[in-house]
Structure 1
Amino acid sequence: MKKMQAKIQNRIPDTAARDGEAPALPLADEKNGDAPSNLFGLTLAGCSALMRDLGEPKFRGRQLFEWLYGKRAMAVDACTNLPKKLRETLKTRWIIDWGEVLGVQADLEDGTKKMLIRLADGECVETVLMAYDYGYSLCVSSQVGCAMGCAFCASTKGGLVRNLTAGEMAAQIALVEAAEGVRISRVVVMGIGEPLANYDNLLRFIQILNQGFGIGMRRITVSTCGIVPMIERLADEALEINLAISLHSPDQAVREQIMPAARRYPLDRLLKTCKNYFNKTGRRVTFEYALMAGVNDRDEDAKALIGLFSGENVHLNLIRLNPITDGPFAGSQNVTGFAKKLKTGGINCTIRRRIGKNIDAACGQLRHRQEQAVPMVTKPRGER
């Protein structure tokens, strides 16, 4: 095991992953909450409170909410069933701002589209549109940058800049649907950032998804590297959303090397918390496992996973690693064989369908390209 740790250590750049300290886990900053000038991002309760403050009847809040998310109004004047005087008042203090799509990469082979979105302050995030038999799913970012320091992820390059507001998360859906003429039926919060480190805005976003966009709770998935206190808090919310945990190794020491945030929360505590989440919500937890050659794809790793999850009502999602530029790890060539070992051991697992392989598919790559001022290919790639 010491040889394995040294091998992994040598692959990791001199970042937080090697300095002996777990990265800070900043939670939502109140200064980064919903910008008071932007109506887009207000929950139903927020719209009602605004109308109350303006001396308007409560039903005006529902009308505004429906215009924002049901009808996707892009300007206050578009909210035509609001009295003109009210609209004029709103325009003196409020705007409706989605940001803008800065660039698109399209994979013609599977229909995946990755979009770079510029926010009001000039910062950029990514969102990924994925086509499935059941419809369209969108992978949404929750922060600009990330503080978690995972060694295999491009999102953490440059660290955390700031949290996204609920409106900036919701705008990713509005922009994609408007640009592509599609309707999103499922949302996964697996893009740039750690969602549970932006907890309050995440909850507002989930409310908007459910009440505004009409997306059912069971069609919403939140992915986390495993911030135990926030998972416990999320369990107490009694939401029927899906929880996905970035596991990536059954060994605590290896996990700490590739995921510095794991140093704060030992694996046994994390697994106990996940079991409690299932007991409280009735929602089975999914564990994500990106297979890296020689790091977590060995026979002993499969045996350890079987030991951890035997008899448990969990799902293991095996992922073919999308290598990042100058990244320390290579994708495993043993994905199918690894899955077979797990299934033989009684573990419920699937191999995630690989999408976007002809574009900058790894999380954070497109934003990193923009930051480095590298020309971005915006025409469809993957052409024969």
Structure 2
Amino acid sequence: MALLQFMCSVTPLARAATTRSRAIIISSSRTITTTTTKTKISPPDSNVLLGMSEEQLQQLAIDFGQQSYRGKQLHHLLYKRRVKDIHEFSQVPLAFRTELQEAGWVVGRSSVHSSVTAADGTIKLLIKLEDNRLVETVGIPVTDDKGSVRLTACVSSQVGCPLRCSFCATGKGGFSRNLKGHEIVEQVLAIEEVFNNRVTNVVFMGMGEPMLNLKEVLAAHRCLNKDVQIGQRMMTISTVGVPNTIKKLASHKLQSTLALSLHAPNQKLREKIVPSAKAYPLEAIMKDCRDYFHETSRRVSFEYTLLAGVNDDVEHAKELAELLHQWGPGYHVNLIPFNPIDGTEYKRPYRKAINMFQSMLESRKITVSVRQTRGLDASAACGQLRNEFQKVPLAAPSIEDIQPEPEFALEPEAAVAC
């Protein structure tokens, strides 16, 4: 999915550590026992501080023989002072810092590989992860009439995307892996640093399909809400549609907005634009969106990328209005004029066509907005900047490979043959 057109785990490097005679119980419930002789120990799988709650950090401190308030100090250092390396944790004892490092713990912040700034102030960052993969995140500043600045961070949830929507630059670059929760959170912190301002809104609309990485997306959502202090209503989770996952998301009763990348008013046209739509009939998607609204009382936003001569006719607008009315209230349509990318024949519609499409929806009592195009001179379409640095596309998975994580696997009756 793309930012302005909407459109695995990394095992940290093992560190050998020389420890004193004691037993350390890590918060992941793994026990590392040392003897009086020097012993090499491997770090636990989850040895990243970023993403941990204050309670978890307090427990970690206790597990290392410290008082619980040391965990509060860690929390302050991570989320208030935004310290990037354990050796810079000057507020905590040197012995504690040393033990954390020897046990393989890291903060979990990555470096910015490159950045591009658009004339309108939009900044796209390319973040280099620990395994040298590149992922994009974008900061979008908007100043209202009163002079207040709203800063939106558009974050990625995967390295690349396996869904390969026909108009999306991210899909053309291929798919590598899911991001971990802390790798999502750090994108927001990176945006705050480059703007020297607080992020007010977060949209999970960057590289990747959030619903194929729902466990880590929810972990990042919790951290951004509870630890970084961004309101749930200020966050939006976008999806092109993965069977059985909207229902799963609804069960968490978040107060965040669900954005469904629709792009077509009927199944046949949608399959041409979004190949993965073959596994998720439009009727099933609309039912799940209706249930999401009833479960959370939060309206669903339908993202509709306008492609010249493909899905931007007034008849398409009429059909879209009929579809939404059929499935009840609580919907909003966000029209996104196509943001041109290399390697595609799709074109941006003329302003007249955009206005006619919008007017047709409004005449049928559909709430609609047209997204302001931002950062065209900054490779704004999601995936474009990354593809400039990653010249060789990653392997493309088959449609059979595109499934949710095991805990979100399809129920037999929900499975749909491609």
Query: Rg bigger for which structure?
Result: 2
- Check if 1:171 corresponds to 2:182: no
Q: Report the equivalent of 2:337.
A: 320
Q: Which amino acid aligns with 1:69?
A: Y
Q: Which amino acid aligns with 2:329?
A: E
- 85-94 or 289-298: which moved more? 85-94
Aligned-pair identity (%): 38
TM-fit CA distance, 1:312: 2.0
- Check if 1:144 corresponds to 2:191: no
- 336, 341, 351: which one aligns with 2:370: 351
- 129, 138, 141: which one aligns with 1:128: 138
Q: Is the 8 A contact 1:144 1:192 kept in 2?
A: yes
Q: Which amino acid aligns with 1:106?
A: T
- 170-179 or 312-321: which moved more? 170-179
Q: Which amino acid aligns with 2:114?
A: G
TM-fit CA distance, 1:284: 0.6
TM-fit CA distance, 1:248: 0.2
Deviations 1:349-377 (A, max 9, x none): 0001111122211110100111118xxxx
Pairing 1:339-378 to 2, within 5 Å after superposition: 339-372=358-391
Q: Is the 8 A contact 1:143 1:192 kept in 2?
A: yes
2: CA distance, partners of 1:179 / 1:170:
15
Residue 295 and residue 217 in structure 1: after superposition, are their counterparts in 2 closer, same or farther (change >3 A)? same
SS in 2 for 1:206: helix
TM-fit CA distance, 1:56: 3.6
SS in 2 for 1:244: strand
Q: Report the equivalent of 2:4.
A: none
SS in 2 for 1:184: coil
Pairing 1:303-318 to 2, within 5 Å after superposition: 303-310=318-325, 312-318=329-335
TM-fit CA distance, 1:306: 1.1
- Check if 1:77 corresponds to 2:87: yes
Q: Which amino acid aligns with 2:342?
A: T
Pairing 1:62-141 to 2, within 5 Å after superposition: 62-92=72-102, 93-108=104-119, 110-133=120-143, 134-141=149-156
Pairing 1:182-221 to 2, within 5 Å after superposition: 182-221=197-236
TM-score of the pair, normalised by structure 1? 0.85
Deviations 1:291-335 (A, max 9, x none): 001111112211111101235221000001112101131122211
Q: Is the 8 A contact 1:246 1:287 kept in 2?
A: yes
Pairing 1:51-70 to 2, within 5 Å after superposition: 51-70=61-80
Pairing 1:217-232 to 2, within 5 Å after superposition: 217-232=232-247
Deviations 1:26-46 (A, max 9, x none): xxx567799634322334454
Q: Which amino acid aligns with 1:368?
A: N
TM-fit CA distance, 1:234: 0.8
Q: Is the 8 A contact 1:248 1:291 kept in 2?
A: yes
Q: Which amino acid aligns with 2:330?
A: N
Q: Which amino acid aligns with 1:336?
A: N
Deviations 1:79-102 (A, max 9, x none): 334333222211212122421111
Q: Which amino acid aligns with 1:322?
A: N
Q: Which amino acid aligns with 1:107?
A: A
TM-fit CA distance, 1:70: 1.9
1: CA distance, partners of 2:280 / 2:257:
21
2: CA distance, partners of 1:360 / 1:75:
31
Q: Report the equivalent of 2:41.
A: none
2: CA distance, partners of 1:30 / 1:81:
30
TM-fit CA distance, 1:207: 1.2
2: CA distance, partners of 1:53 / 1:231:
38
TM-score of the pair, normalised by structure 2? 0.78
TM-fit CA distance, 1:282: 1.2
SS in 2 for 1:358: helix
Q: Is the 8 A contact 1:177 1:184 kept in 2?
A: yes
Q: Is the 8 A contact 2:324 2:331 kept in 1?
A: yes
SS in 2 for 1:114: strand
SS in 1 for 2:376: coil
Q: Is the 8 A contact 1:231 1:277 kept in 2?
A: yes
Q: Is the 8 A contact 2:10 2:130 kept in 1?
A: no
2: CA distance, partners of 1:285 / 1:232:
13
- 347, 368, 376: which one aligns with 1:330: 347
Structure 2 stretches lacking a partner, 5+ long? 1-7, 13-43, 144-148, 393-418
- 49, 60, 65: which one aligns with 1:50: 60
- Check if 1:280 corresponds to 2:291: no
Deviations 1:16-67 (A, max 9, x none): xxxxxxxxxxxxx567799634322334454244334324444433332222
SS in 2 for 1:287: strand
Q: Is the 8 A contact 1:292 1:332 kept in 2?
A: yes
Q: Is the 8 A contact 2:298 2:330 kept in 1?
A: no
- 32, 41, 49: which one aligns with 1:39: 49
Q: Is the 8 A contact 2:225 2:232 kept in 1?
A: yes
Q: Is the 8 A contact 2:127 2:136 kept in 1?
A: yes
Deviations 1:254-274 (A, max 9, x none): 111111121111111111111
SS in 2 for 1:148: coil
2: CA distance, partners of 1:64 / 1:294:
55
SS in 2 for 1:263: helix
Q: Which amino acid aligns with 2:106?
A: I
